[in-house]
Structure 1
Amino acid sequence: MREIIYYSSMLLLGFAWYRFGQNRLNKGYRDENDQRTEGFVGPFGFVMTAGISVYLLFAFLRALVRGEVPCVGKGCRSQIYTLAANAGEYWANMFFLLWIVLALGYGLYVTARIWFRA
């Protein structure tokens, strides 16, 4: 039951993140207070977020190829889940890595679209 709540809350959070980005894109150049519409992050944050996204994407692809993923979280210090021995934990960590990569990538996409409007 806990897994169902976890995965459904992750999907709902992803949908809320998507709607927030779409609302930000649909605002136009200025909001109702005549303030410029800003992206999610500034230039330094954009570069830092891009670096984190690339690192996590590399970790995701590496885990797919090797069949093992390090545990993501505070409670499992340097534990490695393998696909053969711990399939449930392996796919849970893979889902989390993929979700984070997609969320950060979407934030970068929205920011770049706002910056480079025609």
Structure 2
Amino acid sequence: MLTAIYYLLMLLLGFAWYRFGQNLLRKGYRDERGERTEGFVGPVGFLVTAVLGCCLLFALLRALLRAEVPCIGKACTGQVYTLAANAGEYWANMFFLAWVVLALGYAMYVTLKVWFRA
């Protein structure tokens, strides 16, 4: 039951992230107070997001190819989950990695769309 709640909360958070990005894209070049509409991140944050997203995408692809993923978290540092021995934990960590990669990619997409408006 706890796992189902975890996945449901992650999906709800993803939906809220998507709606926030769509609201930013729907806004014009200027908002109602006359201030310029900003994206999720600024220029330095965009670079940090891009580097972090690429590192996590590499970790995700590596975990898919090797069928093992290192545990993501403080309580299980150094532990490796394999698909054969620990399928539930493996897919939970893979879901989290994929979610973070998609969220960071969407943040970069929205930021670029806001920056390069006509």
Q: Tell me if 1:58 matches 2:58.
A: yes
Matching of residues 11-30 of structure 1 within 5 Å: 11-30=11-30
Shift of 1:101: 0.2
Q: Tell me if 1:92 matches 2:96.
A: no
Deviations 1:11-61 (A, max 9, x none): 000000000000001011011100000011111110110000000000000
Give the Cα separation in 2 of the matches to 1:22 and 1:60.
26
Give the Cα separation in 2 of the matches to 1:25 and 1:74.
36
Residues paired across the two proteins, number: 118
Percent sequence identity is 72
Which 4+ runs in 1 deviate beyond 4 A?
none
Residue aligning to 1:3: 3
Structure 1: state its 5+ residue gaps. none
Give the Cα separation in 1 of the matches to 2:13 and 2:49.
19
Matching of residues 99-118 of structure 1 within 5 Å: 99-118=99-118
Give the Cα separation in 1 of the matches to 2:94 and 2:22.
26
Q: TM-score, normalised by structure 1?
A: 0.99
